Amino acid sequence: MNIRQGVSKFDPKKNIMQINDIQQTGGSKAVVAVPDHVQIQTITGCNAGCIFCPNNKTRRNIPRGRRMDWDLYRSIVDQSIALGIRRYSVYLMNEPMLDRELPKRVAYVSARITKPQYVKVTSHGGLLTERMARGLLDSGLNKLKISVQSLNPKTYNDIMGLELSKTLSNIDRLLSLKQQGGYKLPRLEIVMVDSIQTHNEIPEIKRYWRERDIKLYIEPVENRADQQSIRDSAIGARQLKTFSWCRRLMEQIYILYDGQMLQCCADWEQRSVMGDLTRESLADIWHGERYSDYRRRFAAGDVKGMICGCCRKQVKGN
């Protein structure tokens, strides 16, 4: 797939609202409003092999099975709540259900937040065992989003490296347990990527989930900040183009299992580490000079040398 290289071109008109949020304080720091949501990696690795995901394809050696220390996790959640963050996503660059304590992690958040705050998990669903399902039903989880990339068993396996029948069975069991127990939450949603492997299936897939009263989200392909290893295997149904704007720097926090805070969820190579939460507070990193400088540059379209400069996303209408 031919993806144009070079510096991203940003639309100044779309930058205006965000630039207005980046004010100079004392001539040295850029101040951004409270982040909207945080993603927390409680365990590393994933047992799937999705062709559009950098998992197991990075140049950087990422250890598998490393768990976030509970003291660090509690500290991150508590600091996030103090900041007033709205959405808590207990996953990042991983399969969160590899963490057998995921329901306890979710419960720690849900017991401390109130609407409109909520907690969310995104998973491939292959590890949604009865034990995990019961735990999540009792945890106060608000939203569970499951990646189901095709309803054709072979295509599904080719894309994800998993067994479709097992995932669908796991989903059915969760829904049955939810109904039997009278649970209102979590709200189940399905997500897929619009790729050339599945584009023609989309009408059938929409119909399947609509008949089950489950919302389907169809996401565009990204090149994950120019991950060379996924270019040829995960080809978008339409051409990938540079981002005209991205909210991640302005609104979202990404935290690895060891407390490293990244600029972006696409930074699998960890090229833009903003700080270390084992040594600094979340607020100090978020409002710090390194983050502020990145935001100023991004808002001005000066992204050369940043991972943003080579990020591409499939857009509608191509």
What CA–CA distance (Å, rounded) separates 256 from 197? Answer: 31
pLDDT tens-digit readout, 6-50 = 333 333 333 334 444 444 433 334 445 789 999 999 999 999 999
How many beta carbons lie within 10 A of that of residue 3, not counting itself? 15
pLDDT of residue 272: 87
Spatial CA neighbour of 31 closest among 260, 299, 255, 308? 299
pLDDT of residue 61: 85
pLDDT tens-digit readout, 51-98 = 888 888 888 888 899 999 999 999 999 999 999 999 999 999 999 999
- How far, CA to CA in Å, does 135 sit from each of 61, 76, 287, 310? 32, 22, 36, 40
pLDDT of residue 145: 98
At CA 90, angle to CA 311 and CA 95, rounded to 5?
A: 70
Angle between helices 130-139 and 164-181 (to 10 degrees): 40
What CA–CA distance (Å, rounded) separates 205 from 149? Answer: 9
Strand partners, 201: none
- The answer to whether 191 and 217 are in contact (CB under 8 A) is yes
What CA–CA distance (Å, rounded) separates 95 from 118? Answer: 20
> For 151, how many CA atoms within 13 A lie in the half-sphere containing its CB?
14
Mean pLDDT of the chain: 84
pLDDT tens-digit readout, 116-126 = 999 999 999 99
pLDDT of residue 223: 56
pLDDT tens-digit readout, 147-191 = 999 999 999 999 999 999 999 999 999 999 999 999 999 999 999
The H or E element containing residue 216 is: strand 215-219
- How far, CA to CA in Å, does 259 sit from each of 32, 62, 64, 74, 81? 21, 15, 16, 12, 17
pLDDT of residue 309: 65
pLDDT tens-digit readout, 221-241 = 775 545 455 555 556 555 555
The answer on pLDDT for 107 being more than 80 is yes
pLDDT of residue 296: 85
Give Cβ neighbours of residue 73 (< 8 Å, ≥ 6 apart).
40, 42, 105, 108
pLDDT tens-digit readout, 256-276 = 999 999 998 888 888 889 999
What CA–CA distance (Å, rounded) separates 285 from 272? Answer: 13
pLDDT of residue 56: 82
The answer on pLDDT for 279 being more than 60 is yes
Spatial CA neighbour of 251 closest among 38, 8, 42? 38
- Identify the top-confidence range among 25-39, 196-210, 212-226: 196-210
On the 0-12 / 13-18 / 19+ scale of CB atoms within 10 A, 176 is exposed
pLDDT of residue 260: 97
What CA–CA distance (Å, rounded) separates 53 from 277? Answer: 26
- The answer to whether 142 and 187 are in contact (CB under 8 A) is yes
